[in-house]
């Protein structure tokens, strides 16, 4: 599962939350519980999490970004090396100035496996949208900061074979420059694109291809983006109406999860998280798998950078000011305050999270397992 992946050299669609009033009769009728921001707990080692490993902030002196943890416990991400031959001035300011590679890191042994080699590409590229399971690795590489030129790849972990699955030539013509990531679904990969040019969202697409390259990259859903795979099926957002849809894993039927009147939200495996302005602050509402809703807050300022993994959600309050990160155990509906800086705490999937030094600080990164 992925909702928005994330590398400094590729533009990523990170959205804040804004909407209408929080006090509709429908909202209050479905709310089972309210938890105030002041009641957030601090995570405690041995009770709420265990330390798994310490990860280096740099690998052999190279800038490294850690993106997630695979089901078999491998940490994955990318390295970035600035190219000294990159021009100082680029037409339109769109050129990529670094070469990046996908890596897997075994947190137990510290062994690093390089999946792709940025130096082997004819052009400088920026890696994004990485997803990994026990059998496959998938990612895209953008050749310009706007993302208009890209290629999608897979890597067979058992054979070591890398395959090009498609490129921007397989998408609708236009500037598909903002990314909503890639996600593995069974033996296929889904890639979501977003467009600058077409305000109707017609050119937005959810693309799909078999990971073994046996068929070309093709459109799965048109006019949609932000695809995600959960235990109950495939969810995606219809761009023009902001309607959140779910294609049921068993029946194949499609239904509306959120009609677009809500604020920015995330959905995964039956859990819907939305943000709602409340006076000068924000409330965060979590609808669970059984249909009950818990409201958290209010929190000072805005809330955004909402993200979900199985059983956990995180969000940042006041992302343009005094940022604070909160995490919610969506099974127990328990609220934690986990960091006082926007980049200090990151969900990694499979009950893992990263705890990083505060912004601007030097130091290694702690990988923890959430209880």
**Please, which pLDDT band fits residue 357 given cuts at 50, 70 and 90?**
confident
DSSP-derived 3-state class of residue 155:
strand
Mean pLDDT, the chain, rounded, equals: 83
What are 299's two structure tokens?
């929190």
What are 167's two structure tokens?
């490129």
What are 207's two structure tokens?
């693309």
Is 60 exceeded by the pLDDT of residue 227? Answer: yes
Which residues contact residue 275 at a Cβ distance below 8 angstroms, ignoring those fewer than 6 apart? 17, 19, 263, 264, 265, 282, 283, 284, 285, 302, 303, 304, 306, 315
Which residue, 22, 5, 162, 153, is CA-closest to 76? 5
Per-residue pLDDT tens over the stretch 153-211: 999 999 999 999 998 888 776 555 556 689 999 999 999 987 655 555 566 889 999 99
* Distances from the Cα of 298 to the Cα of 16, 140, 148, 201, 335, angstroms: 16, 38, 40, 33, 13
With residue 25 as reference, give the H or E element that holds it. Answer: helix 25-30
Q: What is the pLDDT of residue 28?
A: 43
What are 151's two structure tokens?
């290629």
Reply yes or no: is the peptide bond before residue 224 cis, omega within 30 of 0.
Answer: no
- For residues 254-264, average pLDDT: 82
CA dist 323 and 284 (Å) reads 16
Is 90 exceeded by the pLDDT of residue 40? Answer: yes
What are 329's two structure tokens?
């155990």
**DSSP letters for 271-312:** EEEEEEEETTEEEEEEE-TTS-EEEEEEEES-EEEEEEETTE
End-to-end CA, the chain:
19
β-partners of residue 16 are 304
Fold of 25-370: Methylamine Dehydrogenase; Chain H (2.130.10)
Per-residue pLDDT tens over the stretch 303-342: 888 899 999 999 999 877 788 999 999 999 999 999 988 7
**Please, which pLDDT band fits residue 10 given cuts at 50, 70 and 90?**
very low
What are 44's two structure tokens?
């405690």
DSSP state of 144: B
Higher pLDDT, 236 or 26: 236
Q: Which residue has the tokens 């600080």?
A: 361
Is 90 exceeded by the pLDDT of residue 296? Answer: yes
Q: Where are the domains of the chain?
A: 25-370
Q: What is the pLDDT of residue 109?
A: 94
């Amino acid at each position: 599962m992925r909702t928005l992946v994330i590398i400094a050299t590729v533009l990523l669609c990170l959205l804040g939350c804004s909407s209408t009033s929080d006090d509709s009769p429908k909202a209050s009728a479905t709310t089972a519980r309210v938890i105030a921001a002041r009641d957030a707990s601090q995570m405690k080692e041995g009770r709420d999490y265990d330390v798994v490993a310490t990860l280096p902030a740099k690998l052999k002196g190279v800038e490294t970004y850690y993106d997630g943890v695979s089901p078999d416990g491998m940490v994955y991400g990318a390295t970035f090396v600035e190219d000294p031959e990159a021009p100082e001035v680029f037409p339109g300011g769109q050129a990529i100035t670094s070469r990046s590679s996908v890596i897997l890191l075994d947190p137990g042994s510290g062994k690093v496996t390089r999946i792709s080699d940025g130096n082997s590409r004819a052009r400088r590229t920026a890696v994004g949208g990485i997803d990994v399971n026990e059998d496959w690795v998938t990612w895209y590489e953008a050749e310009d900061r706007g993302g208009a030129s890209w290629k999608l790849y897979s890597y067979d972990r058992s054979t070591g074979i890398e395959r090009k699955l498609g490129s921007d030539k397989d998408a609708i013509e236009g500037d598909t420059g903002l990314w909503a990531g890639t996600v593995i679904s069974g033996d296929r990969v889904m890639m979501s694109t977003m467009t600058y040019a077409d305000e109707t969202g017609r050119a937005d697409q959810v693309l799909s291809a078999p990971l073994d390259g046996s068929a070309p990259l093709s459109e799965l859903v048109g006019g949609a983006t932000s695809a995600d795979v959960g235990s109950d099926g495939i969810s995606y957002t219809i761009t023009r109406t902001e309607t959140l849809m779910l294609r049921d894993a068993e029946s194949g039927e499609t239904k509306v999860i959120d009609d677009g009147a809500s604020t920015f939200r995330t959905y995964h495996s039956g859990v819907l998280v939305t943000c709602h302005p409340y006076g000068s602050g924000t409330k965060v509402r979590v609808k669970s798998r059984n249909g009950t809703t818990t409201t958290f807050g209010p929190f000072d300022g805005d809330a955004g950078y909402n993200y979900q993994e199985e059983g956990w959600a995180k969000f940042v309050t006041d992302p343009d000011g005094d940022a604070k990160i909160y995490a919610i155990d969506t099974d127990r509906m328990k609220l934690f305050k986990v960091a006082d800086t926007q980049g200090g705490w990151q969900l990694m999937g499979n009950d893992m999270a990263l705890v990083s030094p505060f912004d601007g600080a030097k130091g290694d990164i702690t990988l923890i397992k959430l209880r």
